[in-house]
Structure 1
Amino acid sequence: MTTDAARPAPPPFGRALCAMITPFSESGALDLDGAQRLADRLVAAGCDGLVLSGTTGESPTTTDAEKSALVTAVREAVGSRAALVAGVGTADTRHTVELALAAEKAGADGLLVVAPYYSRPPQDALEAHFREVADACGLPLALYDIPGRTGTRIEPDTLVRLAGHPRIVAVKDCSYDLLGAQKVLSRAPLAYYAGCDEQILALYAIGATGYVSTVANVVPGLFRALLDAFDAGDTKAAALLQRRALALIEPMMAAGLPGAVTAKALLGALGLPSGPVRAPLRAADRETTAALLAAYRGLTSGAAQFQA
């Protein structure tokens, strides 16, 4: 199973995806109206797809019913303008299948399935887990490789084997393994999405399909402009945009706080739907929020197309 194409697979969920936060009210309840307003804004600003109930969407602390309600509400808001990918990964195969079926019923276009965490299954068990989920429903799957959180890598050889399943169509890569990514890209017809904002251009340049970005919650147009510049042959402009994005990538993603915390702090400071994070996460303090806001203003000054 090989391919030498620059883009080894068509984008099943678009190129430019946002890992959307899950807005809550000040009391901590699910804010469906806020989710609809935020989703509409993100799609209007150029997002092809939205990933709901992922890491940034605080999936470990939302209930099954909330996850389904979120998909239904966002689908109502964006209609057919964007693909909706529902995060359904858990530590339990049976539970993951239940969430997959519920997401399909709620109107999702695809599923994001993370490697089961804590139990750290070996590769044969991991492969069986993904196949069971893919067999159980009719939606296409994106496999989420984020070993820093799950404790288990989806090895390149495992991804290549799983690519033979007709409903396993994509990967969200947070492995920080550029060599492994190239192995998969050269051997499997999977749509490859950069899951780490600092690697969007690097992976896109070697054949990735696009990205699933947390930073896109606040600058939804920036990375879309990067892809457009690269596709137009202006690699210098694409590189400049990636470097400019570091002004937000570093404080949002590499300063010791989860992206859900920093994205919500910045969205709230901008008057956009966000709300608190759920415990055990804690809100960013005033100093951190002020620094995030200053970085945002510095990046977007005179560049309205990058703004939230």
Structure 2
Amino acid sequence: MADLKGINLAMQTPFDESGAINFTVFEDLIEKYIAAGVHGLVLGAGTGQHPYLTEAECNHLYEVGSKRIAGRCNVICQTSALNMDEVIRRSRHAESVGANALMILPPYLEGPSDDDGLFEFYKAIDAAVGVDIVGYNIPQATGISVSPQLLGRLMKLKNFNYIKDSAGDLTVHQEYLQFGGDVLNGADTTTIYALMAGARGVIWGAANYMPIEAVRLYELVSAGRCGDALTLWNLMLPSLLFVWRAPYTPAVLRAAQIRGYGTGNVRRPLRKLSSEQETQLLQALAPLDPEIGAAPREQAIA
């Protein structure tokens, strides 16, 4: 079983202006994030625009990423798909190139949504792979909630050892923790509270633009320095509240670009932020990075 504690950064996929993956920037970002101290990188995460990547693109992304990471932190690959055979095929490929774990959504479009159907879905994948499976609870996007009772059943499978909980419901999150499984928080605005409650770690999209601060937050909570952690958290929170309510991926990628991480480009059908949203983002980043808040808009964009 892989130890997925700490900050697992849900890594962006950098694109050029034409919408092609820029692998030079991708490998540079890996180096920057590892230097910041992240404990894992999630390749092809939602923040990495997984729904808009082809299977071939995902496979190549995982090959390049795993080779570049070279064991310096954990590699988690999202292998979600609507077709069951494709999920297994993607999963086996990711495992073959070095993934430590696989992040997999439930069958979210007109698939089974009852506990028995979801259990059979993950059971079939569990039997097909030999690395950890991270289930993914994000009901606001899938319309499917993984109940605490279902999680208890899933945790008895050989490889289903983690769940990423992006729902933002701290009550359910703590119910998950009662079942003894390892829970990874995925709701940006509850991160500090989930860590204090006992989450093993996080899979965090917003860490794309503040990897150093994200790692520091985890270290402070782990050391029991909750007062210091809350002081840091209050600097992070305005931007987290903004990206959580804004178009999420475009906001995170633009914030990352502003702070020197990536190109800020999105792939269609996603769109960049509007001018009004851009201004709001700069204001939200100011507590975290006062120089951004003080800079003229043109300077910040440059």
Do both share a fold (TM > 0.5)?
Answer: yes
Q: Are the structure 2 counterparts of residues 217 and 119 from structure 1 closer, same or farther at C-alpha, using a change threshold of 3 Å? A: same
Distance 2:273 2:97 in 1: 32
Residues 213-236 of structure 1: CA deviation (Å, up to 9, x unaligned)? 111001002122122112222111
Taking structure 1 as reference, are residues 11 and 111 closer, same or farther at Cα in structure 2, changes over 3 Å only?
closer
Unaligned runs of 5+ in 1: 1-9, 303-308
Decide whether aligned partners of structure 1 residues 222 and 270 sit closer, same or farther in structure 2, where only a CA change above 3 A counts.
closer
The Cα of 1:275 is off from its aligned counterpart by 4.6
| Post-superposition offset of 1:107 | 2.1
C-alpha spacing 1:290/1:36, structure 2 compared with 1 (3 Å): farther
Matched, 1:90 2:90: no
CA contact (8 A) 1:49 1:84 kept: yes
**Tell me, what secondary structure is at the counterpart of 2:47?**
coil
Alignment of 1:89-238 (within 5 A): 89-121=80-112, 122-188=114-180, 190-238=181-229
**Which of these residues, 241, 244, 250, is aligned with residue 261 of structure 1?**
250
Mapped contact 1:112–1:144 kept (Cα < 8 A): yes
The letter for the 2-side match of 1:46 is G
Q: CA deviation at 1:292?
A: 2.3
Against the structure 1 CA distance between its residues 286 and 194, is the aligned structure 2 distance closer, same or farther, given a 3 Å change threshold? same
Residue of structure 1 equivalent to 2:27: 36
Residue in structure 2 matched with residue 291 of structure 1 by the alignment: 280
Is the 8 Å Cα contact of residues 163 and 182 (structure 2) preserved in structure 1? yes
Question: Which segments of 5 or more consecutive residues in structure 2 lack a partner in the other structure?
Answer: 292-302
SS of 1:205's equivalent in the other structure is: helix
Q: Which runs of 4+ in 1 moved over 4 A?
A: none
Identity of aligned residues (%): 27
Paired letter, 2:185: A
Per-residue deviation at 1:289?
2.8
In structure 2, give the amino acid aligned to 1:160. Answer: G
Cα offset for 1:147? Answer: 0.7
1:246 aligns with 2:237: yes
Letter in 1 for 2:157: H
Structure with greater contact order relative to length (CA < 8 Å, sep ≥ 6): 1
**Does the C-alpha gap of structure 1 residues 242 and 275 become closer, same or farther in structure 2, counting only changes over 3 Å?**
closer
Q: CA deviation at 1:13?
A: 2.1
User: By how many angstroms is 1:175 displaced?
Assistant: 2.0
Query: TM-score, with normalisation over the residues of structure 1?
Result: 0.88
- Counting matched residue pairs gives 290
